[in-house]
């Protein structure tokens, strides 16, 4: 297969490559891609490296336009792209640097169960989860709220869900931003976005969103595992979802509106999908206020999904979820922009960090971390496809130094949904997964084909690069047992 991207690329070391600033007139910084030679072959097959170079045009961008090892082509920014702009020196905010599914993210729940405890109940658990957790395109849940309450969710996030009895205070401590970003502005959200979100709290959605029963099959760092209460053979649950129709609509609204900002603020970018506005402009502040609403909605959604998951386990296993030890390890955001303080050229700067298909990976001791993770570093959750593995890692100082405390977010696609649907025989796929002991339930066979393992890079290769590059440290690996797809 001929390579789509033929541009200049310099090898820095075994885990990093550079697009020089000279590649395109107008690049303000170089591009840095975290990858190895093996993954680079797939990365060259789409236009994502060109997008890395294009992001380097953003006003106020500092250090480099970064890409994680799961990089692939996206809207404006590549998925797996990270960029920070200097808030006090021309820095901009770009909706394309966050993505359409605002705060698409993942949470990992541990249990006191072992594989032997549930090996004969996996199908029962999967069936109950599929029955009790609404999934699929446009899915609507039983958690219905008034217009006033919906605005509360946009401000309070996961805290709203806990107040309603859908969880406990400890869940908030184990959620990025304690489950709610400050500065959310419900007035910056359109009526159409409200309409799309009002019946979707506690719903999984479609596409790559999933709910997965897993078992830990490999330990890498015994000390961190002990600190987190993790052991080989332990059953875990992973929940991957986002802000549903509300987040998509907010992105759609602001992508269209921000195109006008390019001329207004004399911003020159090579791709209109990189439409942006200064962070401190009225348009920038409005988008940030709306984006934070969507982020909070997503945290509330995942909190509700975890509540439904706990109840499903209770029904099948006949014990209260607390007796089953179903405690949240952490919840991380994948598509988000945050105002953070980072060291740039030896000086502390306030920057707007765009993480699009990238996970925050803060180091041990960081003030944003709860006390329980001050020694280990922030838990980093990296889901793979439904036929291979997922990982738990922790953040590192090297990530703080090099990537604004960021790392990869998943495996990363190598086949489009259309191509996967065209080339995958669903019946053969399901038989192969069943032979591995993996039960899969989905609202349609099309979703299963789109999410086939061969549509993704091997997450083991992706995580290996992140670990070897030092931008996250492997803790343990999980394999899937039961998978619920939208």
The phi, psi pair for 287, rounded to 5°, reads -65, -45
Query: Which residues, at least 6 apart from 5, have a Cβ–Cβ distance to it below 8 Å?
Result: 43, 44, 45, 46, 47, 48, 49, 50
**410 within 8 A of 459, measured Cβ to Cβ:** yes
| Alpha-carbon Rg for the chain in angstroms | 21
Which member of 209, 334, 342, 409 is catalytic? 409
Query: Which residues, at least 6 apart from 427, have a Cβ–Cβ distance to it below 8 Å?
Result: none
Please provide the size of the chain in residues. 486
Query: Which residues, at least 6 apart from 2, have a Cβ–Cβ distance to it below 8 Å?
Result: none
* Residues pairing with 482 in the sheet: 213, 439
Structure tokens at 409: 């977010």
Query: Which residues, at least 6 apart from 75, have a Cβ–Cβ distance to it below 8 Å?
Result: 96, 99, 100, 255, 273
Alpha-carbon gap, residue 344 to 91, rounded angstroms: 14
CA dihedral 214, 220, 226, 232 (to 10 degrees): 40
Q: Residue ranges of the alpha helices (H) in 44-121?
A: 48-55, 115-118
Structure tokens at 339: 């105002």
Alpha-carbon gap, residue 338 to 406, rounded angstroms: 12
Alpha-carbon gap, residue 137 to 144, rounded angstroms: 18
**Sign (positive or negative) of CA dihedral 151, 156, 161, 163:** negative
Q: Annotated catalytic, 334?
A: no
Cα 285 to Cα 84, 159, 189: the distances in Å are 16, 24, 12
Query: What is the CB neighbour count within 10 angstroms for residue 295?
Result: 31
Alpha-carbon gap, residue 70 to 413, rounded angstroms: 8
Catalytic residue numbers read 409
């Amino acid at each position: 297969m001929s390579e789509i991207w033929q541009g200049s690329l310099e090898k820095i070391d075994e885990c990093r490559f550079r697009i020089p600033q000279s590649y395109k007139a107008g690049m303000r910084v170089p591009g840095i891609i975290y990858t190895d030679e093996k993954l680079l072959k797939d990365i060259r097959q789409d236009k994502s490296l060109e997008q890395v170079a294009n992001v380097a045009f953003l006003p106020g961008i500092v250090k480099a336009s970064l890409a994680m090892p799961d990089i692939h082509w996206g809207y404006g920014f590549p998925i797996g792209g990270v960029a920070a702009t200097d808030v006090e020196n021309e820095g901009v905010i770009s909706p394309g640097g966050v993505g359409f599914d605002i705060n698409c993210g993942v949470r990992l729940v541990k249990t006191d169960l072992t594989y032997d405890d549930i090996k004969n109940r996996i199908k029962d658990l999967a069936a109950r989860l599929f029955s009790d957790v609404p999934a699929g395109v446009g899915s609507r849940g039983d958690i219905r709220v008034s217009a006033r309450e919906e605005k509360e969710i946009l401000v309070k996030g996961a805290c709203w869900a806990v107040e309603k009895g859908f969880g406990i205070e400890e869940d908030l401590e184990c959620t990025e931003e304690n489950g709610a970003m400050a500065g959310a502005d419900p007035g910056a959200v359109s009526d159409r976005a409200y309409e799309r979100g009002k019946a979707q709290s506690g719903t999984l959605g479609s596409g790559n969103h999933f709910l997965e029963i897993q078992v830990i099959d490999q330990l890498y760092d015994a000390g961190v595992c002990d600190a987190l209460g993790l052991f080989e053979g332990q059953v875990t649950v992973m929940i991957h979802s986002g802000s549903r129709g509300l987040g998509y609509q907010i992105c759609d609204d602001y992508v269209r509106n921000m195109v006008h900002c390019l001329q207004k603020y004399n911003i020159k970018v090579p791709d209109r999908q990189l439409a942006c506005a200064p962070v401190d402009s009225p348009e920038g502040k409005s988008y940030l206020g709306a984006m934070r609403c969507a982020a909070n909605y997503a945290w509330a959604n995942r909190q509700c999904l975890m509540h439904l998951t706990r109840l499903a386990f209770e029904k099948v296993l006949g014990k209260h979820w607390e007796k089953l030890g179903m405690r949240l390890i952490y919840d991380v955001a994948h598509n988000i922009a945050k105002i953070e303080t980072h060291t740039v050229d030896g000086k502390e700067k306030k920057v707007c960090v765009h993480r699009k298909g990238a996970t925050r990976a803060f180091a041990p001791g960081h003030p944003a971390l709860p006390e329980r993770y001050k020694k280990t570093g922030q838990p980093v959750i990296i889901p793979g496809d439904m036929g291979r593995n997922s990982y738990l890692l922790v953040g590192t100082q090297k990530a703080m130094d090099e990537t604004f405390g960021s790392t990869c977010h998943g495996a990363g696609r190598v086949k489009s949904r259309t191509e996967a649907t065209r080339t995958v025989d669903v019946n053969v796929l399901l038989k192969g997964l069943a032979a591995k002991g993996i039960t899969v339930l989905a609202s349609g066979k099309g979703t299963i084909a789109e999410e086939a393992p061969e549509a993704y890079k091997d997450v083991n290769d992706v995580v290996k690069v992140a670990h070897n590059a030092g931008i996250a440290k492997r803790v343990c690996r999980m394999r899937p047992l039961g998978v619920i797809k939208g």
